[in-house]
Amino acid sequence: MIDKKNFFIQPDWPAPQQVKAYTCLRESGVCPSRDEVDKTRLKKLLALNNDPIFLRQTHSTIAVEAKKANHYCEGDGLYSFESNQICAILTADCLPLLVTDRNGQRVAAIHAGWRGLASGVIESTIAALDITPTDCLVWLGPAIGPNKFEVREDVLNAFTSRHPESAHAFIQIGKNHWLANLYSLARLRLQKLGIQQVYGGEYCTYSDPISFYSYRRDGQETGRLVSLIWIEDSLDKM
């Protein structure tokens, strides 16, 4: 649900009350240029009582525990089993996934561009989280939509060489040109892990320049959306 007044999206999912999850919109001004996060503004916007942990995102499959010692180390998945360890990732067309369990005892945030998604960043982060598939809840945040994400054959092959059924997420629109559906590709990977409770996936960053940044639309130096998830130790906040 987009909250224009407060400049963020809250996932529409049945997460426990102590699990807090948000994506900050472009209007929030939290990350107006590449990798330039206004942490003071971010903490005030979401009433955070701890500094978020960010990663040096490289489209890898590396999953890292969210703790101060790991701040800005290389990785594309963050997870935590502790209260107030805030997992934060940056995206601008790539797919952010927020993950928790039915009891709200573990959380994760995943940065999934097509390279990381094809290589297994979802699988590696879910494995690190050590979560039972039937207890797992996943929200797919704002990413480039299936009508705007044009790719070439190398992207198609990166997915179909491992999972031939991934071909259903591609529509050919010309010689060596396809439209790819990141949401469908992520759902397929989650289904293969036995995860059925998947929510979100209705936004297109490219098509909404007011709410979202888009690398494809605006270029490399565009700002970034910040997606966060954590376990709150006090139920009277937010």
**Which CATH number goes with the domain that contains 82?**
3.60.140.10
What gap in Å lies between CA 78 and CA 75, rounded to an integer? 8
> Is the residue at 187 inside a domain?
no
> Is the residue at 37 inside a domain?
yes
> Is the residue at 120 inside a domain?
yes
> Is the residue at 25 inside a domain?
yes
- Domain holding 208, by residue range, is 2-143+193-231
Centre a 10 Å sphere on the Cβ of residue 223 and count the other Cβ atoms it contains: 22
> Is the residue at 182 inside a domain?
no
> What's the pTM value of the predicted model, to 2 decimals?
0.96
Looking from the CA of 154 toward its CB, the CA atoms found within 13 Å total 2
- Per-residue pLDDT band for 201 (boundaries 50, 70, 90) equals very high
Q: How many residues does the chain have?
A: 238
Confidence (pLDDT) at 234: 63
Average pLDDT over residues 105-119: 98
- Per-residue pLDDT band for 222 (boundaries 50, 70, 90) equals very high
Q: Which residues of 51-77 are buried (b: 16+ CB within 10 A; e: fewer)?
A: ebbbbebebbbbbbbbeeebeeeebbb
> Is the residue at 159 inside a domain?
no
Q: How many domains does the chain have?
A: 1
> Is the residue at 213 inside a domain?
yes
Taking each helix axis from N to C end, the angle separating 121-129 and 182-192, rounded to the nearest 10 degrees, works out to 40
